[in-house]
Structure 1
Amino acid sequence: MTEPKYSLEEIRTRLNELDDQLLRLLSERRQMSLEVAKSKVQTAKPVRDAEREQQLLAKLITSGEKKYQLDAQYITKLFHSIIEDSVLIQQSYLQNLANPELSRKPIARIAFLGAKGSYSHLASHEYFSRKNTELVEMSCDQFKDIIKTVETGHADYGILPIENTSSGSINEVYDLLQHTSLYIVGEITLPIEHCLLATSDIHLETIKTLYSHPQPHAQCSEFLGRLKNVRLESCISTADAMQKVRELNQPDVAAIGNATSGKLYGLQPIQNNIANQTENHTRFILVARKAVDVSGQIPAKTTLIMSTSQEAGSLVQCLLVLQHYGINMTKLESRPIMGNPWEEMFYIDLECHIDSISMQSSLKELTKLTKYLKVLGCYPSENVSPTMLNLDK
């Protein structure tokens, strides 16, 4: 057995030095990304250049493998994160130019569901993390309270979960959007990492009561089905469930929530990765009283709600309009119209800028085909798709 060249302390010292260098270089690269955004103001080029990103990634993989013995998967995963950060920074800069009144507000009041540590709370911090905005946090007990808090001007923004990859659409939120005067001004998708939390390291078979929000209960149904004689108790959020377990401080109660948030309440994870799907994500929307202007250089989404006549093929006619103008639909959701039996309101997410010729032409035709049509908002698409590259070549 060969003796190590360095002592453990020397190795750790060197690793710390290298980590510091990496942080400095990442900071410098981020600043250069901002300079790229400034140059694009003059040229009006879009934020994303797929060909340039592919060439960059291919070059990095080749260089990393030949010069530094780094494998392609490692390089790809690392630079996907770096490219995503660069895109979001550039988008934020261009959005501030398009909405100067927002960039002058260093403080934002944000309404979210549940107490601190809820997934909505985490999503609000993630959304504003690149916007150099200090948050004034406003906890709400119900989705309708979030809407009301923003409508009355007590909060600048509200953040609402709209759909989950495991449990599907959150119908209550869709129903509220049908009647509010608020606009969708942003979106963010958050990885949901459910785990079982308790005040001490207890065994699964000792749990008698499990607290959480109904959505995590649904998203972890397969795991919960394997537990025996456990009573499920619903709370207004995962954070409130964790708070409840902390207050009870009993060896037979647990909560479903996020491990990082659990630390806020003195809880420890008993079992990780308990969701039905390993890739469990929730999409959140940000709502405000005033619509935002979206820079034409930024990938945008437009969300519509509409109702059609009860005649056969009415919805198909509307969808054919979108197809004719080459507009990609990413979401179609139907909800009943209260007071109008058997009639439905359709919610449609479109990958298109509201000011584009195709979108404006579509809206003119859709207005003629529908009984009701409203634009809920046009907003930057904050979900940055990974740069695609065929590594088998």
Structure 2
Amino acid sequence: MELDEIRHAISDTDQQLLSLLAKRRQLALAVADAKLAQNKPIRDQKREQELLVSLINQGKPLGLDAQYVTRLYHVIIEDSVLQQQAKIQGQLNGTHAPAVRVAFLGGQGSYSYWATQKYFTRRAERIIEQGCDSFNEIVQAVETGHADYALLPIENTSSGSINEVYDLLQHTRLSIVGELTHPIAHCLLGLPGTDLSKIRQVCAHPQVIAQCSQYLQGLSQVKIEYCDSSSDAFNRIKQQQDPTIVAIGGEEGGQLYGLEVLTRDLANQKDNVSRFIVVARKPVSVAKAIPAKTTFIMYTGQQPGALVDALLVLKQHGISMGKLESRPINGNPWEEMFYVDVFANINDYAMTRALEELNKITKFIKVLGCYPSEDIEPTQVVTN
């Protein structure tokens, strides 16, 4: 076969694969209805393990190695689980809509933009995008009814917690209704033909700069310019048309502005992932079939052992804690508010009792939201 013929055959095969993947997704959604009717949990890791072993064995005579099959189906299984969760949550809360208005940081091409697309394409036919210049503006858009949802980055594996967002949660009446994690791949981007040895300015969001601090320390005589978002940085390069000015951001976002990649993998950590939360004016109920998280804040006071006593309440009720974050209380020097993530549904008996007890021993407690957990840990299989 000639090269063009081979490429044409590959394209035909890819089209068939896409059609089969779409069919598989529809079948996975039908499974969600069946599980809900039988009151079964969405995730069945024993079934997943059996499926992976079977697929690995089927792939061997076809020349497909176990690692290839496993990595491919981890992605497919994760998609199936998240699609099923979104469908059930939509039915329970009546939140599936033809269009949703979503406020996020930056414009098209920012990391928050891509995370918005990733989360809401499972929940609405159309996303009405509302790019904002600050976290405060994002929250206000939902509080005033100009947006239905807000998407906010809350922590990153390289730079840690985003304190400004935690502080906003302390005062808003909005509820956390969802979460997602999104891989962040930082690249140095510039105009086509940019000479790396001649750059004199790097534009990026402060969080991006923190996540790439080690790389930036190696650049001498280069000015760091803080931007409102990655898309803002891209737009500055496009508008100024100066080959000595570059931006840090995602490759896909940079392409929207006609920029090309100069260097990849700039983050301090190899696995650079951001966690985002979704907030809305009303809380949601989480179906029993779906793993849930509950986030709350509490002020324990400054008496010795107060925090330990509060955490013991969670332990006594068998509630696992995912995160504990402290933030200073504005106007109260040396006093702190604690943000707590737990793996529990707020309607579970154990969680209800735990909150009742915490109300008695803390000076202040506020539930920020109960929402579906999107921590989809890949099912592991042992192969020979």
Q: TM-score, normalised by structure 1?
A: 0.96
How far, CA to CA, are the matches of 2:382 and 2:314 in structure 1?
A: 31
Q: Is 1:76 matched with 2:76?
A: no
Q: Which residue of 2 aligns with 1:235?
A: 227
Matches within 5 A, 1:32-111: 32-65=27-60, 67-100=61-94, 102-103=95-96, 105-111=97-103
Q: Verify the 8 A CA contact 2:294 2:341 in the aligned structure 1.
A: yes
Question: C-alpha root-mean-square deviation of aligned residues, in Å?
Answer: 1.1
Instruction: Write the letter of the residue equivalent to 1:25.
Output: L
How far, CA to CA, are the matches of 1:389 and 1:313 in structure 2?
A: 43
Q: Is 1:29 matched with 2:38?
A: no
Q: Deviations over 1:76-99 (max 9, x none)?
A: 100001100110111111111211
Instruction: Write the letter of the residue equivalent to 1:143.
Output: F
Of 164-173 and 34-43, deviating more is 34-43
Q: Which residue of 1 aligns with 2:204?
A: 212
Give the CA deviation at 1:11. 1.3
Q: Verify the 8 A CA contact 1:213 1:236 in the aligned structure 2.
A: yes
Look up the SS of the partner of 1:45 in the other structure: coil
Give the CA deviation at 1:69. 1.8
Q: Verify the 8 A CA contact 2:177 2:283 in the aligned structure 1.
A: yes
Matches within 5 A, 1:166-315: 166-315=158-307
Of 76-85 and 257-266, deviating more is 257-266
Q: Verify the 8 A CA contact 1:205 1:228 in the aligned structure 2.
A: no
Q: Verify the 8 A CA contact 2:59 2:69 in the aligned structure 1.
A: yes
Of 168-177 and 317-326, deviating more is 317-326
How far, CA to CA, are the matches of 2:186 and 2:9 in structure 1?
A: 36
Q: Verify the 8 A CA contact 1:205 1:227 in the aligned structure 2.
A: no
Give the CA deviation at 1:48. 0.2
Q: Deviations over 1:9-54 (max 9, x none)?
A: 2211221221122112111111111111111121010000111111
Give the CA deviation at 1:201. 2.5
How far, CA to CA, are the matches of 1:388 and 1:314 in structure 2?
A: 40
Instruction: Write the letter of the residue equivalent to 1:365.
Output: E
Give the CA deviation at 1:228. 1.1
Instruction: Write the letter of the residue equivalent to 2:298.
Output: M
Q: 2:152 aligns with which of 147, 157, 160?
A: 160
Q: Which residue of 2 aligns with 1:334?
A: 326
Q: Verify the 8 A CA contact 1:321 1:365 in the aligned structure 2.
A: yes
Q: Which residue of 1 aligns with 2:353?
A: 361
Look up the SS of the partner of 1:77 in the other structure: helix
Matches within 5 A, 1:86-165: 86-100=80-94, 102-103=95-96, 105-165=97-157
How far, CA to CA, are the matches of 1:292 and 1:131 in structure 2?
A: 14
Look up the SS of the partner of 1:106 in the other structure: strand
Look up the SS of the partner of 2:40 in the other structure: coil
Instruction: Write the letter of the residue equivalent to 1:108.
Output: V
Give the CA deviation at 1:204. 2.1
Q: Which residue of 2 aligns with 1:321?
A: 313
Look up the SS of the partner of 2:333 in the other structure: coil
How far, CA to CA, are the matches of 1:23 and 1:297 in structure 2?
A: 29
How far, CA to CA, are the matches of 1:194 and 1:201 in structure 2?
A: 19
Give the CA deviation at 1:203. 2.5
Q: Deviations over 1:282-304 (max 9, x none)?
A: 00101100001111101111001
Q: Is 1:10 matched with 2:2?
A: no
Give the CA deviation at 1:325. 1.6
Identical-pair percentage:
53
How far, CA to CA, are the matches of 1:14 and 1:133 in structure 2?
A: 32
Structure 1: gaps (5+ residues)? 1-5
Q: Verify the 8 A CA contact 2:100 2:124 in the aligned structure 1.
A: no
Aligned residues: 384
How far, CA to CA, are the matches of 2:143 and 2:125 in structure 1?
A: 21
Q: TM-score, normalised by structure 2?
A: 0.98
How far, CA to CA, are the matches of 2:105 and 2:133 in structure 1?
A: 6
Q: Verify the 8 A CA contact 2:90 2:123 in the aligned structure 1.
A: no
Look up the SS of the partner of 1:149 in the other structure: helix
How far, CA to CA, are the matches of 2:82 and 2:139 in structure 1?
A: 27
Instruction: Write the letter of the residue equivalent to 2:130.
Output: M
How far, CA to CA, are the matches of 1:15 and 1:135 in structure 2?
A: 33
Instruction: Write the letter of the residue equivalent to 2:221.
Output: N
Of 30-39 and 163-172, deviating more is 30-39
Q: Verify the 8 A CA contact 1:201 1:270 in the aligned structure 2.
A: no
Q: Which residue of 2 aligns with 1:3?
A: none
